[in-house]
């Protein structure tokens, strides 16, 4: 196993196998659902060779690996016995938005590779016709079209399988639900004079051609549909669970699927399918209407922020809308408007590759540039542009310009396709061929790449910038040494000062411990890490915290403020209370304290510094809540 050691290290630093509820992967990331994210050693993972970065978003703990993530995932599964489903433990409750993102990513991620591949085949087939290389009547065209169209046409069956795995339903029941939705005979029943019409005169007017046990059935076209099968499978999982609880074990093997299908398939045709289809139509109409109001502004917005959405995993809330539009209208604008963003990203990366004198950075830029050509930009974002900030901002701005060009040209995609350059054939209009929208796409691609390259090439490049988070001094380079550390976040927002500048000898000379001081600009103290409040002075001016790893921290608000006897201080927690990083611990009145004649400079020190090799303070002048302040080297 090529990635055996990397896989073992990842499992160890996410808190062990027992801390993992579920595991999946997408194009570049391992996506964990952890029972307790505080047990994961994020800083160690970020520093590991083979890991690009770590993202916590959408209720998932995402370890970004790069293009070879499928190989790492395979080795990880072999080593641990984990699969891309739950280990059976109750998952941590999360907010509805995170739950939605998790469901969508879990349902779509397993099939994205094949969906992209078949879309590419269909796209290139359209290109061959547009160039006159193939006739639509030829056997070659029709066979290629069957290969390209099969996955998307029978999408409900595939989504039935992935949805069933996500919702813990028998996978074959999920596939049977999807197959029923695209059963060809049913479409033939939806012809001729209807028996009657429901909701006549309304926007959802629906002819009824057949009934089920006397109940009207509104037959829809479910080929390529997305929402109906996902909802049906979710409800099916609840129905199956109910029958499992009441049917005797001796006949469960066939009676549970029998009863589940008899309930959920008719229910889908009578209620779930029509409601979901109407919702799909409304969503599609809304997105197209927003596009029609101002295609240029829509393009600028989507193009500018798409890479930000990707970083936080929020794109999973948008991609299904694009698939839905392709199903309902045969075209989509959302997935078209993001096209230029990846070319802006690789334009910036190419400029850095040519400018930098840092050999390590060159070695990162080349593979990131190549993968970016094919639409996989995570290595470029996390490894190169985002850590430097300015290149990432340039790529976002230029991506917005490219999106604006796409909007102004009326560019749309007409089929699912690959990423990057492989998505080009998706812009070919089924009837018009290479139309204005297609050429607008080509212009946006060229402009985005060239403009991003030129701007970045003439922007000053600091080769001394660290490609990782600057959490410790540059003198520390040994990766094994870095793993034995604990990061203390800033409990305050304000200006950073050396302890030697504090007007108190005990603090200034490090007698009480090593650390740093902050001149706060806001009157609030938040927890710098997870731990226990071991000391909270009755006067509220000083807080002692012991972290889960035994580091003892003292936060002393102001000098001699004990004499205020609690005035201007409002504690938010009590001594002995357990705290989580970011919890509000104390609020204080800066203006009142200073008017009373006291200095507000606040030391943050490690009182048991002698137990550690070193305490390294942050190398910056200003700091915000939650930013890295101290590194405790063990």
* Spatial separation of the C-alpha atoms in residues 446 and 421, rounded to whole Å: 11
Percent of the chain at pLDDT exceeding 70: 85
Identify whether the C-beta of residue 266 lies closer than 8 Å to the C-beta of residue 212. yes
Instruction: Kindly state whether residue 114 falls inside one of the protein's structural domains.
Output: no
pLDDT at residue 330 greater than cutoff 50? yes
Task: Please tell me the total count of domains within the chain.
Answer: 4
Considering the domain architecture, whether residues 279 and 329 belong to the same structural domain is answered as: no
440 touches 409 (CB < 8 A): yes
Is residue 121 domain-resident? no
Residue 422 falls inside a structural domain: yes
Residue 115 pLDDT exceeds 90: no
Q: Confirm whether 140 is domain-assigned.
A: no
Query: Domain check: are 324 and 446 in the same one?
Result: yes
Residue 436 lies in a domain: yes
Question: Do 435 and 336 share a domain, yes or no?
Answer: yes
> Residue 122 domain-assigned?
no
Q: What is the dihedral of CA 474, 479, 485, 486, to 10 degrees?
A: 80
* Same domain flag for 313 and 272: no
Picking from 265, 291, 317, the residue at the C-terminal end of a domain is 291
Query: Residue 32 in contact with residue 22, Cβ under 8 Å?
Result: yes
Of the ranges 7-21, 46-60, 232-246, which is most confident? 232-246
CA distance 40 to 29: 16
Q: What's the CATH number where 608 sits?
A: 2.70.70.10
What distances in angstroms separate CA 593 from CA 335, 414, 522, 541, 589, one per listed residue? 55, 65, 13, 11, 6
At 235, is the pLDDT very low, low, confident or very high (cuts 50, 70, 90)? Answer: very high
Residues 171 and 317 in one domain: no
Distance CA 264, CA 270 (A): 10
273-293 helix and 227-246 helix, angle to the nearest 10 degrees: 150
The residue from 241, 267, 291 where one domain ends is: 291
**Other Cβ atoms within 10 Å of 473 Cβ, number:** 12
| pLDDT at res. 600 | 93
Structure tokens, 396: 């976002």
Task: Write out the two tokens for 409.
Answer: 């040209």
Q: Is the domain of 77 the same as that of 201?
A: no
CA 144, chain centre distance (Å): 34
> d(Cα 51, Cα 468) in Å, to the nearest integer?
11
Assess whether 363 and 233 both reside in one domain: no
Q: In this structure, are 537 and 583 located in the same domain?
A: yes
Tell whether 299 and 174 lie within a shared domain. Answer: no
Token digits of residue 388: 């430097």
For residues 515 and 626, membership in a common domain is answered with yes
Neighbours of 131 (CB within 10 A): 11
pLDDT range class, residue 587, cuts 50, 70, 90: very high
Angle between helices 69-80 and 4-13 (to 10 degrees): 70
Beta-bridged to residue 603, according to DSSP, are 517
pTM of the model: 0.51
Q: Which domain holds residue 304?
A: 294-457
pLDDT category of residue 476 using cuts at 50, 70 and 90: very low
Give the integer Cα–Cα distance in Å for 554 and 188: 76
What is the reported pLDDT for 495? Answer: 92
Query: Is 280 contained in some domain?
Result: yes
Within-domain flag for 258: yes
Among residues 247, 269, 291, which one ends one of the domains? 291
Indicate if 396 belongs to the active site: no
Spell out where 137-233 has E strands.
196-198, 206-208, 210-212, 215-217
Catalytic residue among 26, 111, 365, 396: 26
Q: What are phi and psi for residue 136, nearest 5 degrees?
A: -65, -15
Question: What is the pLDDT, as a whole number, of residue 467?
Answer: 38
Q: How many residues are there in the chain?
A: 634
- Both 448 and 485 in one domain: the answer is no
Mean pLDDT of 511-526: 91
**Dihedral angle of Cα 126, 129, 134, 137, to the nearest 10 degrees:** 90
The alpha-carbon radius of gyration of the chain (Å, integer) is 29
| Residues 528 and 440 placed together within one structural domain of the fold | no
pLDDT of amino acid 67: 64
């Amino acid at each position: 196993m090529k990635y055996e050691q990397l896989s073992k290290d990842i499992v160890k630093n996410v808190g062990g196998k027992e801390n993992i509820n579920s595991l999946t992967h997408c194009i570049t990331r391992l996506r964990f659902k952890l029972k307790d994210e505080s047990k994961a050693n994020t800083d160690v993972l970020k520093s590991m060779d083979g890991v690009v970065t770590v993202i916590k978003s959408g209720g998932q703990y995402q370890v970004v690996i790069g293009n070879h993530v499928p190989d790492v995932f395979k080795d990880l599964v072999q080593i641990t016995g984990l699969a891309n489903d739950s280990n059976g433990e109750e998952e941590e409750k999360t907010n509805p938005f995170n739950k939605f993102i998790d469901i969508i990513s879990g349902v779509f991620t397993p099939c994205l590779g094949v969906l992209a591949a078949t879309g590419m085949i269909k796209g290139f087939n359209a290109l061959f016709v547009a160039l006159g290389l193939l006739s639509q009547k030829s056997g070659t065209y029709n066979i290629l079209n069957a290969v390209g169209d099969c996955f998307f046409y029978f999408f409900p069956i595939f989504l039935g399988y992935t949805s069933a795995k996500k919702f813990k339903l028998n996978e074959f029941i999920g596939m049977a639900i999807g197959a029923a939705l695209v059963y060809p005979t049913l479409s033939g029943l939806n012809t001729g004079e209807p028996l009657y019409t429901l909701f006549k005169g309304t926007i959802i007017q629906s002819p009824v051609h057949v009934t089920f046990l006397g109940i009207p059935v509104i037959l829809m076209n479910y080929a390529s549909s997305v929402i109906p099968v996902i909802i049906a499978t979710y409800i099916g999982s609840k129905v199956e669970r109910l029958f499992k609880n009441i049917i005797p074990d001796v006949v469960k093997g066939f009676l549970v699927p029998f009863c589940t299908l008899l309930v959920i398939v008719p229910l889908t045709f009578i209620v779930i399918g029509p409601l979901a289809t109407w919702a799909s139509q409304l969503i599609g109409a809304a997105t197209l209407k927003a596009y029609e109001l101002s295609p240029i502004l829509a393009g600028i917005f989507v193009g500018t922020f798409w890479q930000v959405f990707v970083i936080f995993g929020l794109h999973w809330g948008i991609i299904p809308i694009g698939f839905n539009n392709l199903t309902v209208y045969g075209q989509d604008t959302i997935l078209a408007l993001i096209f230029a963003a990846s070319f802006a990203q690789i334009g910036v990366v190419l400029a850095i590759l040519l400018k930098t004198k840092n050999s390590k950075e060159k070695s990162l830029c080349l593979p990131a540039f190549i993968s970016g050509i094919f639409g996989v930009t995570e290595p470029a974002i996390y490894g190169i542009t985002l850590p430097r900030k300015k290149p990432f901002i340039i790529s976002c701005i230029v991506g917005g310009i490219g999106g604006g060009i796409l909007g102004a040209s009326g560019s749309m995609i007409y089929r699912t396709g690959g990423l990057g350059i492989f998505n080009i054939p998706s812009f070919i209009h089924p009837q018009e061929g290479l139309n204005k929208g297609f050429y607008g796409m080509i212009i946006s691609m060229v402009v985005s790449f060239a403009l991003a390259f030129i701007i970045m090439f003439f922007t000053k490049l600091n080769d001394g910038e660290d490609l990782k988070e600057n959490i410790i001094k540059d003198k520390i380079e040994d990766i094994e040494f870095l793993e034995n550390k604990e990061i203390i976040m800033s409990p305050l927002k304000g200006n950073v000062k050396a302890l030697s500048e504090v007007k108190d000898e005990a603090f200034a000379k490090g007698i009480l411990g090593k650390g740093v001081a902050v001149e706060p600009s806001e009157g609030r103290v938040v927890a710098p890490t997870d731990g226990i409040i071991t000391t909270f002075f009755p006067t509220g001016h000083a807080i002692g915290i012991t972290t889960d790893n035994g580091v003892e921290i003292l936060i002393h608000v102001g000098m001699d403020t004990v004499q205020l006897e609690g005035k201007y201080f409002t504690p938010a927690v009590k001594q002995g209370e357990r705290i989580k990083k970011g919890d509000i611990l104390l609020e204080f009145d800066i203006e009142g304290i200073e008017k009373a004649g006291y200095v507000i400079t606040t030391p943050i020190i490690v009182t048991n510094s002698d137990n550690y090799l070193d305490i390294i303070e942050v190398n910056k002048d200003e700091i915000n809540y939650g930013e890295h302040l101290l590194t405790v080297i063990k």
